[in-house]
């Protein structure tokens, strides 16, 4: 866990979210000549205290009366009490706001417009059920998503999103107070209109519609939701880009970084990639990104600076021999660099080490592992001292300590190492784990078997030292370290299975033939790089093949 005293910002307690429920009413339709779904949306009042003027799905806070009404609602045997109450709240809010009621008459038929004409929407829904022998149809409502309002906002809701088929014979009529202009819209069309600026929506609505557009029928969506568990859960986080607030949900590239820098959800951290200044991540960790962004380096190579003015600094991966970048490192550290560590010897990581050393008055030692015999000429590297497995690199002054544990991780390169800042639960992963892409394994210096074994070792290290965050050499900080490692290993094994199948299908095929089959989901412009990892997988498959 990150030490609280290393956080950049004073923490505050987010507002407690209020339980709420939202309804997505659906119907089958056509969109651009193909089967599709439409969802019922409505525009909120311009004077509303939450999301004024935005198009939303009907919904609102759960009321104490919902629990009493739920006792009389129909439900599936797999719905528990809490789900039934949430479903009833969604039914009630949809009735109050849009005049649509998911309920059955005593004869088992759904109510229709003729029934609705006799109901006073200002009266309690429980009274209608009792007086007219209506049963709320909670059994027809399925959980879609679970959203919790962003931690930085003054009003927060813990919202269950439900989906249901629009009952036949009913017409939506907005209440004219909270909601206006009910409209049936295809998710893709709503998103296009939103992008064009004429269909205002809040972040959770946008992301929900993005997920819905992959379904071509109500039946398919309801079937996907039949497990009684939300298809996803999210509590978004906000950051700044070009001075504007942007929202991210779990799985978005910047989410882990926002969680590290502002765990309480305050919108204070800029996500713009900057090569001209150091970006503080914690009081004892800064990142400087080289201006070498591209297809293979993403936004650029990250140089990390660990330590404080009191303890001095360790520089991890000084990058290429880019004098402007090295000068910025020198300025960010005040020249007090105690060690320079290279995670491996590739050209975008290590060549800056000697020039940076020469710029420092104290000539700090360059640490790492020497390049292997199969390394390319551009990756030749000899450190001042070779790192040892399990050794500690420590900075300390007056009780302040920052210790890096050395973990050799061959695979991407034979001399690759990772570093663990144990006091704060951070893993500096070099190129072994990246944000936004998988690293290339380039034989003969790269080795897939060694790479996977190193992933296993990192997983064990993360469990032992309670590591939650990964700081990669390319891309934003990642959170949920062990989940990231598991996902990455599963991806590699799935790719290897596709390669094995391609070889089996085309036993006389070439590398290019197998590449087209095994990497058909990867843009063709990346195939030359993917071919190197394919070769690494082939070597691993050959290692595992039974011998006569």
Residue at a domain's end among 201, 235, 269: 235
- Examine the domain organization and report whether 368 and 403 are in the same domain: yes
Residue 10 located in a structural domain: no
Predicted pLDDT at 399: 92
Residues 369 and 394 in one domain: yes
d(CA 474, CA 439): 10
Same domain? For 307 and 201 the reply is no
Same domain membership, residue 309 and residue 220:
no
Contact 335, 304 (CB under 8 A): no
| 314/437 same-domain check | yes
Please check whether residue 173 lies inside any domain of the structure: yes
Q: How far is CA 30 from CA 35, 55, 147, 271, 463, in A?
A: 5, 21, 29, 39, 50
- 2 found inside a domain: no
Q: Do 468 and 498 belong to one domain?
A: no
Other C-beta atoms lying within 10 Å of the C-beta of residue 529: 15
Closest CA to 404 of 385, 415, 386, 417: 417
Q: How far apart are CA 58 and CA 44, in angstroms?
A: 9
Q: Which two tokens stand for residue 396?
A: 């300390």
SS3 category, 17: coil
Q: Is 168 exposed, middle or buried (0-12, 13-18, 19+ CB in 10 A)?
A: exposed
Closest listed residue to residue 270, CA positions, set 295, 251, 289: 289
Give Cα separations from 35 to 208, 217, 220 (angstroms). Answer: 19, 7, 11
Q: Is 406 in contact with 390 (CB distance < 8 Å)?
A: yes
Q: Which residue from 44, 19, 22 is spatially nearest to 144, judged by alpha carbons? A: 22
> What is 46-65 written as a DSSP string?
TT-SSSTT-EE-SEEEPPHH
Whether the CB-CB separation of 412 and 432 falls below 8 Å is answered with yes
SS3 220: helix
Q: What are phi and psi of 325, to 5 degrees?
A: -65, -45
Residues 341 and 195 both lie in one domain: no
CATH number of the domain where residue 45 is located: 3.90.79.10
- Alpha carbon of residue 196 to chain centroid: 25
Distances (CA, A) of 357 to 309, 334, 339: 18, 14, 9
- What are all long-range contacts of 69-74, with beta carbons under 8 Å and residues at least 24 apart? 69/125, 69/126, 69/129, 69/136, 70/136, 70/138, 72/129, 72/135, 72/136, 73/135, 73/136, 73/137, 73/138, 73/139, 74/104, 74/135, 74/136, 74/137, 74/138, 74/139
Which strand (E) or helix (H) includes residue 426? strand 426-430
Nearest CA among 500, 502, 482 for reference residue 490 = 482
Q: pTM score, two decimals?
A: 0.93
CA–CA separation, 100 and 184 (whole Å): 14
Q: How many domains does the chain have?
A: 3
- Specify whether 506 is located in the same domain as 474: no
Q: Are residues 38 and 173 in the same domain?
A: yes
Residue 5 lies in a domain: no
Please indicate, yes or no, whether residues 474 and 510 belong to a single structural domain of this protein. no
CB burial string 264-281: b at 16+ within 10 A, e below: ebbbebebebebeebbeb
- Cα–Cα distance, 180 to 48 (Å, whole number): 12
Instruction: Look up the domain containing 115 and give its range.
Output: 18-235
Same domain, 221 and 296: no
Check if the beta carbon of residue 32 is closer than 8 Å to that of residue 213: no
Cis-peptide into 530, omega within 30 deg = no
**How high is the mean pLDDT in each 10-residue block of the chain (548 residues)?**
95 96 97 95 85 92 92 90 94 94 94 90 86 92 97 95 96 88 95 95 97 96 95 97 96 97 97 95 98 92 98 98 97 97 96 98 97 91 97 96 98 98 97 95 96 98 97 98 97 96 94 94 91 95 82
Instruction: Pick the closest to residue 210 from 239, 174, 158, 251 (CA basis).
Output: 251
Cα–Cα dist 379/366, whole Å: 15
Specify the DSSP class assigned to residue 378: G
Say how far apart CA 485 and CA 509 lie, in whole Å.
Answer: 32
DSSP 212: H
Last residue within a domain, chosen from 483, 503, 533: 483
Go through 458-493 and write b for each residue having 16 or more CB atoms within 10 A of its CB, e for each that does not.
bbebbeebebbbbbbbbbbbbbbbbebbeebbeebe
Neighbours of 153 (CB within 10 A): 16
Dihedral angle, C-alpha 126, 127, 131, 134, nearest 10 ° = -20
User: Could you please report the per-residue DSSP string of 234-248?
Assistant: E--EEEEETTEEEEE
Please report whether residue 264 resides in a domain.
no
Which contacts of 63-69 are long-range, i.e. CB under 8 A and separated by 24 or more positions? Answer: 63/89, 63/92, 65/124, 65/126, 66/92, 68/126, 69/125, 69/126, 69/129, 69/136
> Would residue 230 count as lying in a domain?
yes
Assess if residue 158 is contained within a domain.
yes
Task: Answer yes or no: do 155 and 286 share one domain.
Answer: no
Nearest to 419 by CA among 315, 278, 534, 544: 315
Q: What is the CATH number of the domain that holds 370?
A: 3.60.15.10
Within a domain: 146: yes
Which of 430, 459, 483 is a domain's end point? 483
């Amino acid at each position: 866990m990150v030490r609280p005293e290393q956080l950049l910002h004073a923490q505050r307690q987010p507002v407690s979210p209020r339980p709420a429920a939202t309804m997505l009413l659906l119907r089958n339709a056509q969109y651009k000549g193909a089967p599709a779904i439409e969802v019922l949306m409505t525009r909120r009042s311009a004077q509303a205290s939450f999301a004024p003027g935005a198009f939303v799905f009907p919904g609102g806070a759960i009321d104490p009366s919902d629990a009493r009404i739920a006792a009389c609602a129909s439900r599936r045997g797999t719905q528990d009490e809490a789900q039934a109450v949430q479903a009833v709240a969604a039914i009630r809010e949809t009735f109050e706001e849009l005049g649509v009621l998911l309920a059955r008459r005593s004869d088992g038929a759904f109510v229709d417009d003729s029934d609705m004409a006799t109901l006073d929407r200002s009266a309690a829904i429980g009274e209608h059920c009792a007086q007219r022998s209506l049963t709320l149809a909670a059994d027809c409502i399925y959980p879609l998503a679970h959203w919790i309002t962003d931690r930085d906002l003054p009003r927060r809701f813990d919202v269950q999103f439900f989906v249901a088929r629009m009952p036949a014979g009913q017409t939506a009529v907005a209440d004219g107070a909270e909601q206006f202009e009910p409209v049936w819209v295809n998710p893709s069309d709503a998103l296009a209109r939103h992008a064009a600026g004429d269909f205002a929506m809040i972040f959770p609505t946008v992301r929900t519609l993005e997920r819905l557009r992959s379904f071509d029928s109500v039946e398919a969506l309801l079937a996907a939701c039949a497990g009684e568990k939300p298809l996803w859960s999210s509590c978004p986080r906000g950051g700044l880009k070009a001075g504007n607030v942007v929202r991210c949900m779990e799985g978005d590239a910047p989410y882990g970084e926002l969680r590290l820098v502002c765990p309480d959800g305050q919108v204070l951290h800029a996500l713009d990639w900057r090569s001209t200044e150091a970006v503080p991540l914690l009081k004892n960790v800064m990142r400087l990104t080289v201006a070498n962004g591209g297809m293979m380096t993403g936004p650029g190579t990250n140089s990390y600076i660990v330590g404080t003015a009191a303890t001095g600094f360790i520089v991890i991966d000084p990058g290429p021999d880019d004098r402007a970048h090295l000068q910025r490192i020198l300025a960010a550290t005040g020249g007090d660099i105690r060690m320079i560590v290279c995670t491996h010897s590739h050209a975008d990581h290590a060549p800056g080490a000697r020039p940076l050393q020469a710029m420092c008055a104290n000539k700090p030692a360059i640490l790492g592992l020497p390049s292997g015999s199969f390394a390319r000429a551009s990756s030749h590297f000899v450190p001042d001292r070779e790192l040892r497995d399990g050794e500690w690199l420590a900075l300390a002054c007056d009780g302040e300590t920052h210790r890096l544990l050395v973990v050799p991780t061959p695979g991407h390169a034979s001399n690759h190492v990772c570093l663990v800042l144990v006091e704060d639960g951070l893993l500096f992963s070099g190129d072994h784990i990246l944000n936004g892409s998988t690293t290339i394994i380039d034989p003969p210096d790269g080795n897939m078997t060694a790479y996977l074994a190193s992933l296993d070792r990192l997983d064990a290290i993360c469990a032992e030292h309670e590591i939650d965050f990964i700081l990669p050499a390319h891309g934003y900080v990642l959170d949920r370290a062990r989940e990231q490692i598991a996902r990455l290993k599963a991806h590699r094994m799935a790719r290897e299975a596709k390669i094995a199948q391609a070889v089996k299908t085309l036993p006389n095929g070439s590398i290019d033939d197998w590449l087209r089959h095994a990497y058909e989901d990867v843009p063709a412009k990346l195939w030359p790089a993917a071919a190197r990892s394919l070769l690494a997988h082939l070597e691993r498959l050959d290692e595992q093949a039974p011998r006569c």
